[in-house]
Structure 1
């Protein structure tokens, strides 16, 4: 069961419940008191999309299933991880200790302060501590290799490290940062009112780095709160209808879903993608309504031998293309459709397929969220005709403030609030957003043929027993070409894959090299590592 009081050790038990005070506190804490809760937000407003020079709008209503916390009452959530519940009270106590330690060492100011955070309850506590300060918080992944960014993290930036991550201190110094190992929160306590997360100016996270060095993205707190409320309404999050994720708040998706959890007051669960048995246990728990899934874990739970009932939350959402075989295998086993969503670190949430189960389609990412405008073309003032494929432009009230570290941020390419993505797409006649690859997915081969690499990847995913495929450009001695890295069942061979492609694609769209792997190389946020795929293909002879 989810705890109603802290799951405490003997040392923690002396600190009492949320809001208790301790006269033995080594630090003082100054946070604002939480206000009372307010009812669930009203039903969704109209969705506005722009597919021609005249904007058109359509509306839908979403039936929420719980209460939504007011944006002024954000609090640390209850968190499930590795089969254990951590109460919000327990994590808030931890956060107050760490906040006081940071303030004692560096003071309360508007200077940047960074922290290494992972997919763990302790990281949620540290997130609460730092985002309650007047400083912009820079969230770093636990893998220090991702700390090499463009632009670089400013020299002299303090980096708060939980005791479990103290080994990262030398890495921080190597980057010119100031490491600060936080105290063991179980050995001391700080009194005061509960902390309010996302009460500071904002958060810096980083792009995935799949096509270059990660870029810092600054998002203001009020925009994170607004986006979190919109996502919570769209999938029905509430106090007894929580969310399961597998990514750290240091990544865009993890941050966005944490924002939705905070906005709705619901419980949060972390899934370890390496342990599908423990994941199945969490997925079957009735207090979770939404799972932000990854292709790897979806494949594992769809194919493994079950030792219990086949139960998953009603909303299972992927942020990547879904192969027909995986879509069908998942639905056949669990009776729940895999839905797609579309977002990015820069734009936050854009669209999600949140319609009735019978209406879910694997070939679209759903309808845009209320308040999101979408248009297609080279320029938002000259959009493509309805139904035509073009570059996707996004405008909303929760996009990033810009690239960089505050106060120096910029939005290159912005046109009157419209953000140019690197994706291609179109809008279907019934208002669903359909992706059609990326701008950098089209290559002109040595034969002077233009090939859309995402279209080739889509054909690969439609081959039975292929779980996922990545198609990337290759520069060879004889000119420009491309290759494919395929994650599939051991029974498939390169010859079989090539035969299937020959049935559906012209010869100039056949990959020069096909590499079969048991699992695609992935970045820390779960996305396919395109650079690693290029390296794999560069080591192969043409097949």
Structure 2
């Protein structure tokens, strides 16, 4: 049998099912799949082929592929009846649910743009996302709509024409006469939309925090999301062909529908691009837990639903693998685990195999919101031999390490990781300057630091200096710092990440208290919590009277705050 790399080469060779060629895309020569679907609407059309098999399982609710497709077409017609057309933005602010998925597929099938708002955002953040995106319609659940209902009732966001609440009556949530029940969107049986959609049309806007203030809306195109879909399918096929592939399924599993567990939020590329979209094409039943992530509930669902695939962030895997009751559940059905969001250490690989005895494929992936999900993948025996790597590039992705002069650094040299390919965003919504900074000559400058080895495996060794990855969430320090210094008793502030065994990192604030002022750790945490999402609230607060270390140009020397670096504190004062 071939190795994984040999299987990829066979699948992507001329005449292969995933033949790779080169084309000019937006003036940039790049690798693409020679045969590909033209848009996400074409992907949705394939749902009918899976018929009565279950697409989404959410609590007691079961929706078949055929019924889901019919409902999505009806909701697309409902949106169109309200004037939503090609290029218009439809926002979703909700926990994972069938309504989230239906709104996504209806919107992109219409040629409109789905705006996924972070479900953990607070009032000001939500209002910013809606205004920045220019959304005409919002679909929200009652809990999250409650964060903005008062200001909506007062007339805020006049360009937001209608709000549809998924799980409550409008009178229960307030918000004024713009709020309607989600059922009103469903126009009933309808033909699929026919509005032309180009590969380069925006399909999704997901917000990612930036190092210069407010979050930026990264655009995923139909081309990028379809390319990510084909990357995923190709990777699955190559893994099955490889000599380290899982053994054949037992008689009790053979011929059954593949079941995947979806615990990543749908407003992340991991949840939407690499789970929701891939599962529809592949006929995979998606099991969505109800409510917040709970390790025991995950274990129960794995046992009852016979989950075979779980793709998520390392933090969630850690929480399940370290739970004291993990061995009380039957996890034998799980065959494939996929991590994303950070390098998966060898210890996590060991924990996975201890908790899920039949796992034969434990893969790690690297990608960004700006890359429409996965750019590199580590799988099969490579995951055991190089557990600190994030793998090799997908077939239509180029990776280079920037040499500082616009060229590629040689193997083993550390530098900024740059990506190129059809999965890369065309830019940030309405932010041409930020786009020009991030994408140069077709290369996305990720802000991540790493190196490539002689075999083309990527290693991430550092990140953009002002970013923390907490449980798979990107936390940019400047946003928290700007909030902290608005407090009248804060003279200066710096935010850094500190190691955490399962979250990866936790947020720490180092605060210089204003002269004569009195401030407590609780005061600082409450102040941040009033304006920013809970995952951005510092877990640790260090209060000090002395000035924070800065260089001659005023830049914070965070290496000193982290306890490393060659510059002494005295030299900075």
8 Å Cα contact 2:447-2:464 kept in structure 1: yes
Following superposition, the deviation at residue 121 of structure 1 comes to 1.6
Following superposition, the deviation at residue 327 of structure 1 comes to 3.3
Extract unaligned runs of 5+ from structure 2: 1-14, 23-30, 32-40, 49-53, 165-179, 241-255, 468-495, 514-520, 522-528, 546-560, 564-573
Aligned match of 2:315 in 295, 301, 322?
295
Aligned match of 2:189 in 168, 188, 191?
191
Structure 1 match to 2:169:
none
Structure 2 match to 1:174:
156
341-350 or 241-250, which deviates more: 241-250
Structure 2 match to 1:75:
47
Following superposition, the deviation at residue 253 of structure 1 comes to 2.1
Whole-angstrom distance in 2 between the partners of 1:115 and 1:164 = 13
- Aligned to 2:47, the other structure's residue is in SS state coil
Structure 1 match to 2:26:
none
8 Å Cα contact 1:346-1:399 kept in structure 2: yes
Q: TM-score, normalised by structure 2?
A: 0.61
> Aligned in 2, Cα 1:323/1:411: closer, same or farther, shift over 3 Å?
same
Aligned match of 1:137 in 114, 117, 121?
114
Cα offsets for 1:213-258 (capped at 9, x unmatched): 2211111113211211212321359994354322333222222212
87-96 or 125-134, which deviates more: 87-96
Q: TM-score, normalised by structure 1?
A: 0.65
8 Å Cα contact 1:323-1:468 kept in structure 2: no
Residues 11-410 of structure 1 aligned to structure 2 (within 5 Å): 42=16, 71=43, 73-75=45-47, 78-82=55-59, 84-143=61-120, 145=122, 146-149=125-128, 152-153=131-132, 157-161=136-140, 167=146, 169-170=149-150, 174-176=156-158, 177-181=160-164, 182-183=180-181, 185=183, 190-193=188-191, 201-209=201-209, 212-236=213-237, 240-257=257-274, 258-271=276-289, 274-284=293-303, 285-286=305-306, 288-305=308-325, 306-311=327-332, 312-335=334-357, 336=359, 338-348=362-372, 349-356=374-381, 359=384, 361-379=386-404, 381-405=406-430, 410=435
Which protein has the bigger helix share?
2
- Aligned to 2:364, the other structure's residue is in SS state strand
Structure 2 match to 1:419:
444
8 Å Cα contact 1:136-1:406 kept in structure 2: no
92-101 or 385-394, which deviates more: 92-101
394-403 or 320-329, which deviates more: 320-329
Following superposition, the deviation at residue 194 of structure 1 comes to 5.6
Whole-angstrom distance in 1 between the partners of 2:512 and 2:182 = 57
Whole-angstrom distance in 1 between the partners of 2:410 and 2:235 = 29
Structure 2 match to 1:536:
540
Cα offsets for 1:403-458 (capped at 9, x unmatched): 0159999443422211101100111233211100113169xxxxxxxxxx88xx6x
Cα offsets for 1:456-508 (capped at 9, x unmatched): x6xx57xxxx3344277865659xxxxxxxxxxxxxxxxxxxxxxxxxxxxxx
Whole-angstrom distance in 2 between the partners of 1:333 and 1:261 = 25
Cα offsets for 1:26-45 (capped at 9, x unmatched): xxxxxxxxxxxxxxx95666
Whole-angstrom distance in 1 between the partners of 2:185 and 2:129 = 39
> Aligned in 2, Cα 1:539/1:228: closer, same or farther, shift over 3 Å?
farther
Whole-angstrom distance in 2 between the partners of 1:150 and 1:122 = 20
Following superposition, the deviation at residue 317 of structure 1 comes to 1.9
Q: How well do the aligned residues superpose, as a CA RMSD in angstroms?
A: 4.5
Following superposition, the deviation at residue 140 of structure 1 comes to 2.2
